[in-house]
Structures are given as C-alpha cells and as structure tokens.
Amino acid sequence: MAWFETRRRGRGFVVALAVVSCTACVTTTPVDESLEAELSSGRYDRALDLVAADRRSADRLLTLLQRGHVLHYAGRFDESNAAFQHAEDLAADLYTRSVSRQAASILTNDLTIEYRAEPFELAMVPYYRAFNYLSLGDPDGAQVEARKATLTLADAVEATVRELDRPEDRAAAERLGDNGFLHWFSGLLYESDGALNDAFIAYRNAARAYLATRDLTGLAPPADLGRDLERVGLAIGFRDEVEQLRTEAPELFEGVAPRPAASGEVVLVLEGGWVARKQETMLNLPILDVDRRYGSQEAWAEAMVGRASSGWSAGPGVSVDYWLTVAMPTMGPSSTGTVVSARISAAGIRESTVPVDDLTRRAVATFEAKRGTILFRTILRALAKYAATEAAARENEVAGVLVNLFGVVTERADTRCWGTLPDRLSMARLQLPAGDHEVTIDYLDHSGVAVTSETVPVRIEAGGLAFLNRRPF
C-alpha cells in the first residue's frame, strides 16, 4: 500500500507537469526586431501580419498597441484609432485587476499574466490618437486625446504604486506620474483652438513637471515653453502668475522672444530611434545552510533580495546548500537610429529640433522603480518551485527530477514591452507669416548632415498652429 501511494503521488507530479507545461511553453515570439525592419522599409502590411501572427491571449493589449502603432505610420488613421480605443478599454479593465490574483504565475512565470503595459506606454496612446485626429481634420478630437494623456499617465502610475510591495519602490514610482511634454502638447492644442485659459494651465503644469523631473529625464524646460507661458499669460491678464513663475524659475524665460501677431507656427514633433527594450538575465542566488530559520517564504525571499546586489557576502562560517537560478528582466540599450535631429525651414526661416522627452529614460526609471518588487516576487516563485522539488524528491526520486526540470524550463523573465516606441521626442517651432507655405524638413544624422529631406505643404493662420509628427525610420 505504501508503494502504491508513493507511485500515485509521483504520477500526480508528472500529470501536473504535463498540464502546466502545455501552457507555460507557449511563449511570446520576439517580433520587435522584425517589426523594426518592416517599419524601416515601409512594409506596413507585412508589419501588421507579424503583429497578428504573434497573438497570444496574455498579450492582447500588446498586440493592440502594436497594431495601432503600425496603422498610424501607415496613414490608416481611423483604423489606428479603433485599435488604440480597444487597447485603452482593455487596459482600463486590466488595471482594475490585481496581479496577485493570477495564481498561475506562481507555478510558472509572469508571462502567464496578461500584459498591462507600463504607464509611460499607455500615455503614448492618446498622443498618437491626437495626431490621428489632426491628420483626419478633427482638432476637437485631438484636444480630447491630449487632455487624456496626462490623466492616463497619472492613473496608471497610481495603479502601479498600489501593487508594489516595498515602500521605497512606491516612492520611486510616484515620481513617474507627470510628464512635461504631454502637458505642453495639450497646451499647444488648446491654444490652437483659442482656449487660452486651458492653454495657460497646461503650460504652467508643463513647466512644473519639467522642473520636477529634470533629473529623471535629463531635460531642462525648453525655451519655447517659457515663450508660450509669457505670451498666453499676458494675453489673458495673468501677469502676476507669469511674474511669479519668472521668480520661481527664471531659466524658463531665458531668450524669450515674442511672436508677431500676424504670424503663426509650424509645430514639428520628431520621433527618433527605438526605445530601450527589456532583456532576460539569469541570476544565481545562494540558499544558505542557515536559511531554515526563516518562518515564511516571504521573509526568506525578502532576505534573498539583498543577495542579488553586487558585493554581497554571506559572512564567515556560512555555507551554500544550493544555488537558486532565477530569470529576471533587465533593460537593454536604446537605439538612437541614423536620424537624431531635424531642421525645418520655409520662407527663408530655419529652426532646429530640441529634445522634449526621453522615453528610454522613462522606461529605465519605471523598471528601476519596480525592480525590487519584481525580484522579490521572482525569488518567491523560485522558492516555491524549490520547495515543490524537495517535497517531490522525498516521495519519489523520479518525480523530484521531473519537478525540478519543470521549474528550470518554466523559469522565464517577462520581457514584454512596446518595443516599437521611439527612443526620444524632439520639437521644432517655426514662425511663419499667415498663408500657404512649402515647408522643408531635413533629417540630420549625428554629424548634423542631412540624411534625407521632404517638403510638406502647410497653411498657416494668423496666430494659429499647424502640427506635424514625423518618424524617419
């Protein structure tokens, strides 16, 4: 009877292994590099085929984001908006669920959890939808999207903070909830529609966000933002507010020059490079002979987090019983691409782009804020697998080997990310007299040499703004 019970338990482990492995081994195909190649060659239909072929139930949101992105560059703006709308609806639903409720990840890896997107990624959806609406001749729709962008970011960061286990991680994540460029972009759209009070508030929020996060993004407030603040603030009688901002942050107003009343502006947003993507790295962490003193796996995992730090030492008289291997995501390098800036010119006037946002630095800061929690949960899962292996081995040696093999095979890091986003955003503002113009955009490499150029017809209204966004792949 004892022999039968042991064999039955061993078979149970084998069955469980077979059942769970069927789902765990269906992993995401790394399509980012292939998508990059297709987008760079303008083969948008093939890029869409790649996105569709990589579909997995846990990656629904990522599929929608990539689809909306490709359709945007393909000039299929209505379809892009539809895909992004589905993405926003799904993201809102996913963010109401707690990751901790999805128990399958404890047995396998985080790839079984539905991809929910990082806050900075979700904030780019209204940005692209705004340009879709502008391209469709719907400035009101663009304004709605621009207003949503900063709210989307703040809400997503708030939801992320609630699910971080460590106070220091929560504090770091909270700093990611504002974006100067998105405020500024919405202000420009408000101003273009004559909503000057809304524009001034957005410009003021942009200035404060740039100042508060300059160590995060590496960007000082652009000079054009100060010009916008002063022009709109004085136009609506907010002189005191403008002077207060001048006192608080004089660097905002350095080199400010007024815009002639009879002129308007072309606003070019240049998207450059490719955002840094997540990669997988394997860590070997020691299980010590003194670890049995921990009363819970949570306490044990928390202690092991420190062992992933460089320079950690077990101390004298302590031996290693086992090396626990865990798969962790890490941030890879970004790609600046060939084109790093642009020069825009018309009617004998010329301006160059200046940096306004750095998505790679946002990606890295987001990951670093979450890294401690990710590591803790990864170690906790690995300890659960380790305990299961030991328990199986005590019952049946073969079962112990199989459970250990299952743990090794399913140890995968969650490296999913919206990898087709640009590395950075830059902007050029070209003041032009009212009327029709042929605007030339020169795309420049690291040496400031024009790689390619294009000419775009633009109509400028007195006091108006005309918006362009370009991604020279």
Mean pLDDT calculated for residue range 68-97: 94
Give residue 427's pLDDT. 98
Span of 241-250, 393-402, 446-455 with lowest mean pLDDT = 393-402
Span of 94-103, 276-285, 372-381 with lowest mean pLDDT = 94-103
Give residue 260's pLDDT. 66
Under 8 Å CB-to-CB from 273, ≥6 apart: which residues?
334, 335, 336, 337, 340, 360, 422, 423, 424
Give residue 174's pLDDT. 87
For the CA atoms of 395, 398, 401, 403, the dihedral, rounded to the nearest 10 degrees, stands at -60
CA angle 140, 233, 198 (to 5 degrees): 25
pLDDT band, very low/low/confident/very high, at 318 (cuts 50, 70, 90): confident
| Angstrom distances, CA of residue 14 to CA of 3, 11, 203, 396, 472 | 17, 5, 62, 11, 53
Distance of CA 1 to the CA centre of its chain: 57
Give residue 162's pLDDT. 84
Residue pair 423/334 in contact (Cβ under 8 Å)? The answer is yes
Mean pLDDT calculated for residue range 406-429: 88
Mean pLDDT calculated for residue range 88-103: 73
Give residue 76's pLDDT. 98
Give residue 16's pLDDT. 38
Mean pLDDT calculated for residue range 456-465: 93
Closest among 160, 163, 189 to 173, alpha carbons compared? 160
Q: What residue spans define the domains of the chain?
A: 2-177+259-470
pLDDT band, very low/low/confident/very high, at 18 (cuts 50, 70, 90): very low
352 forms beta bridges with 343
Give residue 98's pLDDT. 58
Q: Cα(222)–Cα(356) distance, rounded to whole angstroms?
A: 7
Give residue 269's pLDDT. 98
Give residue 254's pLDDT. 78
Q: Cα(310)–Cα(89) distance, rounded to whole angstroms?
A: 42
Q: Cα(452)–Cα(265) distance, rounded to whole angstroms?
A: 23
Predicted structure pTM score: 0.87
Mean pLDDT calculated for residue range 425-445: 96
Residue pair 126/149 in contact (Cβ under 8 Å)? The answer is yes
